A and B are shown apart, each in its own frame.
Chain A
């Protein structure tokens, strides 16, 4: 059982929920940038939530299938089409053997998740099928999909294509998108004015925004507390002795453009970080297009945990709805 890639889209990769456990070797967890969307897509077609699907950035792929399958597309509003007929997002639909699944233009969001009944069945690497191209790990031969690839699918019993997730249980960023930040890590390196300015300024997603990190521009340069740089750190005030990076941590090389590290993060380096995006808002970043206006909002740990509980509750509601 397999699917065939007729056109890969812009940047389409196989992703599941990732491979935690190897960050100490510089191998990031990877996996869907919008984990909620992937989980829901899988639930809609009767797969385990962590089954591997496709993450399509800005543009959808064109695919054909060897046998009849159920498909669901979640995350970005990237309308799927079966032999040219538009289907609903966040809803399971059938694609028969020989029919073509393609996509209309992107309406909102940045990454669509395509789950196929049975799930993608490429060989796992370090416990995951997620694509990590830098290390040539996972995915289809360690890379994004290309035209002509024949990708294995798992066998499964078809369920009825009746399922849909109502709008209130879907999640896309607002405008401006609000990203909540817990200050910490090397926050003390910034002057009080810079600490305040970071949250007060209007930012926008820069063009350099991918699975490794999202860059932001438009705010004022950040000023550092004056100090003699510690031995081994490097001369720039934004440098530290190379340390680990947290997922979601915000580094600002030279104090200029903040970069939020995402699922394919580098595991460490020599730039100070001012804190991290809270876990509840990481999925949202994956849905931000370049030029999207963004506000960073300061929260404390209690708010971060409450937001995390809210996300968990929403996932539970989806499970109950699709139960």
Chain B
């Protein structure tokens, strides 16, 4: 890992911990962006952590770009020394895979796809070497995921699966982005899964939908009534496959503002995870069973 510092115009500093994705790069980026926040540098207006990088926005009328760059660089050692531990939460997110709404949408944009002859899941299963879509879906939901970035549009989480690199699922984005994606689509691009928080344009492959809102500007959902965005970097997610019956049942609860997602407090230790991935994941998922 080699840290790269650069400017984004005269108002942003961009720090890339690594050009490839890894949990080590994510933890370092999160620690360092936290260190910048804690340093309360005058003139800083926004700090945005991402998967393996982060960005600081500043007011060059308050602090010069050179001075800002110097202060950010000085904080790198703190990220290196930081403990790679997080007190966080695991959330079970219901997913209706192969649902009719993403199916309708993916058929509508078929000419923008690498393989117009099948569905996004057919394609993803095939290029990742699975015999069936069902086996691919199982690989998608059987092990937990880490929210490594929130962004793109309102409250959209990017998720990175907690498995060895050889087991990571990878799919390209659409050849040309769609102009439409159903709200709450569970998508996939590169090595990241995501949930489209709102309806709109998108380039990720579409696997299914969740009935659980994750962005609520009206603060109506009980689990979204303190802030409109549900996810934050460091959250852990376990997908739970559901059928149409369960989807409809949860949706009715969502509409009545009575739905409560299953959530448990957990600790995540990167070194422990790297030493024993299946064991760490089993423990994380057990926490959900008693939630």
Which A residues fall within an 8 A CB radius of B?
A: 20-21, 23-27, 125, 132, 134-137, 142, 182, 184-185, 187, 230-236, 239-249, 266-270, 273, 275-279, 301, 304-305, 308, 312
In chain B, positions 73-108 with a C-beta closer than 8 Å to chain A are none
Taking the nearest CB of chain B, how far is it from the CB of A34, in angstroms?
17
Taking the nearest CB of chain B, how far is it from the CB of A33, in angstroms?
16
Assembled-state Cα–Cα distance A212/B166 (Å): 37
Closest to B9 in A: A276
In chain B, positions 1-25 with a C-beta closer than 8 Å to chain A are 6-12, 14, 16, 18-22
B45 interface contact, C-beta 8 A: yes
With A27-B154, A232-B192 known as contacts, the answer to whether A301 contacts B7 (CB < 8 A) is yes
**Are B8's CB and A266's CB within 8 A?**
no
Interchain Cβ contacts under 8 Å between A and B, 8 examples: A23-B46, A26-B156, A184-B8, A234-B190, A241-B53, A243-B55, A267-B48, A301-B7
Closest to B160 in A: A232
Kindly supply a per-residue 1/0 record for chain B positions 153-196, scoring 1 wherever the CB is within 8 Å of any chain A CB and 0 otherwise.
11110101000010010101100000000000000011110000
Q: Which of B129-137, B144-152, B265-273, B275-283 lies at the interface?
A: B144-152
Q: Pick the contact of A247: B11, B149, B153 (CB < 8 A).
A: B11
List the B side residues contacting A247 at CB < 8 Å.
9, 11-12, 57
Assembled-state Cα–Cα distance A33/B228 (Å): 25
List the A side residues contacting B156 at CB < 8 Å.
26
List the A side residues contacting B49 at CB < 8 Å.
24
Taking the nearest CB of chain A, how far is it from the CB of B156, in angstroms?
5
B54 interface contact, C-beta 8 A: yes
With A142-B217, A234-B189, A240-B19 known as contacts, the answer to whether A268 contacts B152 (CB < 8 A) is yes
Assembled-state Cα–Cα distance A236/B174 (Å): 11
**Are A242's CB and B192's CB within 8 A?**
yes
Closest to B20 in A: A230
Assembled-state Cα–Cα distance A182/B11 (Å): 11
Closest to A181 in B: B9
Kindly supply a per-residue 1/0 record for chain B positions 221-259, scoring 1 wherever the CB is within 8 Å of any chain A CB and 0 otherwise.
000000001000000000000000000000000000000
Closest to B56 in A: A244
Assembled-state Cα–Cα distance A239/B174 (Å): 12
**Are A244's CB and B61's CB within 8 A?**
no
List the B side residues contacting A243 at CB < 8 Å.
14, 16, 50-53, 55
List the B side residues contacting A244 at CB < 8 Å.
14, 48, 50, 53-55, 151
Q: A242-B50, A244-B53, A249-B8 are in contact. List 19 more A-B contacts (CB 8 A).
A: A20-B57, A21-B46, A23-B46, A24-B46, A26-B152, A137-B217, A187-B6, A230-B21, A234-B190, A239-B190, A241-B19, A241-B21, A244-B151, A246-B8, A246-B11, A247-B9, A276-B8, A277-B9, A301-B65
Closest 8 CB pairs of A and B: A246-B8, A232-B21, A276-B9, A230-B20, A267-B151, A244-B55, A135-B154, A246-B12
List the B side residues contacting A246 at CB < 8 Å.
8-9, 11-12, 14, 55, 57
Closest to A136 in B: B217
Size class of B's contact patch? 35 or more
Q: Pick the contact of B11: A135, A239, A279 (CB < 8 A).
A: A279
List the A side residues contacting B217 at CB < 8 Å.
125, 135-137, 142
Assembled-state Cα–Cα distance A323/B96 (Å): 61
Assembled-state Cα–Cα distance A27/B154 (Å): 5
**Are B8's CB and A279's CB within 8 A?**
no
B198 interface contact, C-beta 8 A: yes
Taking the nearest CB of chain B, how far is it from the CB of A289, in angstroms?
22
B27 interface contact, C-beta 8 A: no
Taking the nearest CB of chain B, how far is it from the CB of A48, in angstroms?
19
Closest to A267 in B: B151
Taking the nearest CB of chain B, how far is it from the CB of A4, in angstroms?
25
**Are B215's CB and A135's CB within 8 A?**
yes
Closest to A268 in B: B151
B47 interface contact, C-beta 8 A: yes
In chain B, positions 54-78 with a C-beta closer than 8 Å to chain A are 54-55, 57, 60-61, 64-65
B200 interface contact, C-beta 8 A: yes
Assembled-state Cα–Cα distance A187/B16 (Å): 13
Assembled-state Cα–Cα distance A140/B133 (Å): 44
List the A side residues contacting B22 at CB < 8 Å.
231
**Are A231's CB and B149's CB within 8 A?**
no
Kindly supply a per-residue 1/0 record for chain B positions 187-215, scoring 1 wherever the CB is within 8 Å of any chain A CB and 0 otherwise.
00111100001101000000000000001
Assembled-state Cα–Cα distance A265/B161 (Å): 27
List the A side residues contacting B53 at CB < 8 Å.
241, 243-244
Closest to A307 in B: B10
Taking the nearest CB of chain B, how far is it from the CB of A311, in angstroms?
11
Assembled-state Cα–Cα distance A233/B60 (Å): 31
Assembled-state Cα–Cα distance A97/B14 (Å): 51
List the B side residues contacting A136 at CB < 8 Å.
198, 217
List the B side residues contacting A182 at CB < 8 Å.
7, 9-10
**Are A242's CB and B149's CB within 8 A?**
yes
Closest to B11 in A: A279
**Are A25's CB and B155's CB within 8 A?**
yes
**Are B51's CB and A241's CB within 8 A?**
yes
List the B side residues contacting A278 at CB < 8 Å.
9-10
List the B side residues contacting A312 at CB < 8 Å.
61
**Are A308's CB and B60's CB within 8 A?**
yes
Closest to B158 in A: A242
